[in-house]
Amino acid sequence: MQNLTETLKHIGGGVYLDTASDKMAELVQSVGESGKAGALTLTISVKPATRGGAMHITGKYTLKKPAETPMEALLFATPEGNLLADDPKQNKLDLKTTEDPPKELRIVSTNAAKTA
């Protein structure tokens, strides 16, 4: 009895098995990055060929990667139907940066606090 791996090597001249291995590695990476489940389904179909005793073997794969996290934005609608990043109903504050000189840091000894 011939094992399954030997049979798979004949499908597509070995390309099917190589591609399935590549898809498995791709799936493992996607699952590792997302932390969500995925699946690789290998389907082998067998049907009789027109010649006596021969079998037609077909290999197919289906890769289902984990769903990617959708990108989102929170935008505010205007009466005209536009979307804005800032809430048009909220007043804007006229904030400015000041040029304060850097202050000198004081170092407090923890030993002095214990002896007092």
Between 8-17, 25-34, 57-66, 104-113, the lowest mean confidence (pLDDT) is in 104-113
Q: In which band, very low, low, confident or very high, does the pLDDT at 100 lie, cut at 50, 70 and 90?
A: confident
Q: In which band, very low, low, confident or very high, does the pLDDT at 57 lie, cut at 50, 70 and 90?
A: very high
Q: In which band, very low, low, confident or very high, does the pLDDT at 112 lie, cut at 50, 70 and 90?
A: low
Q: Say how many Å lie between the first and final Cα of the chain, rounded.
A: 90
